[in-house]
Amino acid sequence: MILDGTLKTGDRLPAERELATQLGLSRGVLREALRSLEYVGLLQARVGSGRYVTQNRPDDPASGISVWMQLQSVGEVISVRRILEPAALSAVPALEVAQLAVDVRGHYKQMTSAYKRGAHEAATRHHSEFHLALTRYAPSRLHRVLLASMIEVAEGAQLQIFRTGKAGLHSLQRHLPIVEALERGDVAEAARAVAEHLAPAFTYSDV
């Protein structure tokens, strides 16, 4: 109902008994589901007033899913991302590969330029845009939302990498095989390069 706009930001949900009847659920099952929606930030419970739809959107990386993701360790997030990101890239339609290659090459150039002039925050932003481009054709909205949240979580660690001597250059170099594989039209190789890039995530040393 939130997704299709039946319930909009600020709307009050019907009473539990009415909603349970409307959805054909027991009140216990409904209550558990409502708690889950509160937990991820889509609903807000107000004492003595009921539950209201928040301004967060389920496909917005700034939603409660992202908040929950922020509570996870970067290492665990990256280990899951290493599975999801190559899978998302593998779903790129054949007719879109050339344009995706152009886009990621552009993000790579911007990231490299920012890094070389010492603009580490900008380099980190372009790094996120690079990886978000790779997830553009993920096969489901949930897949895209999860990856966007994971990429957001990794920004702090990536910024530290760019600030840590040769580690930043090492990180940049790991993106180039992804770009070059896409430019050759080899999506499978690009997906393998993404997995390899994420394998030793955030363990670079300044050596």
pLDDT at 121: 95
CB-based contacts of 68-71 (< 8 A; 24+ apart in sequence): 68/39, 68/40, 69/146, 69/149, 69/150, 69/152, 69/153, 70/153
- Span(s) in the chain for CATH 1.20.120.530: 64-198
The CATH number corresponding to 64-198 among 1.20.120.530, 3.40.640.10, 1.10.150.120, 1.10.8.60 equals: 1.20.120.530
pLDDT at 39: 67
pLDDT at 205: 39
Q: Report the C-alpha gap between 98 and 100 in whole angstroms.
A: 5
SS3 of 67, please? helix
Q: For residue 135, give every residue at least 6 positions away whose Cβ sits within 8 Å of its Cβ, in sequence order, or none.
A: 85, 88, 89, 143, 144, 147, 148, 151
**pTM, 2 dp:** 0.70
pLDDT at 207: 34
Burial class (CB in 10 A: 0-12, 13-18, 19+), 28: exposed
The CATH number corresponding to 1-56 among 3.40.190.10, 3.30.465.10, 1.10.10.10, 3.30.365.10 equals: 1.10.10.10
- Span(s) in the chain for CATH 1.10.10.10: 1-56
Give the tokens for residue 77: 């997030």
What angle (nearest 5°) sits at the alpha carbon of residue 134, between those of residues 132 and 140?
85
pLDDT at 118: 95
pLDDT at 61: 55
pLDDT at 206: 38
User: What string of pLDDT tens digits covers the 207 residues of the chain?
Assistant: 887 888 888 999 999 999 999 999 999 999 888 987 886 678 888 878 899 998 766 555 556 677 678 778 888 899 999 999 999 999 999 999 999 999 999 999 999 999 999 999 999 999 999 999 999 999 998 899 899 989 988 999 999 999 988 889 999 999 999 999 999 999 999 999 999 999 864 444 333
Give the tokens for residue 103: 């886009």
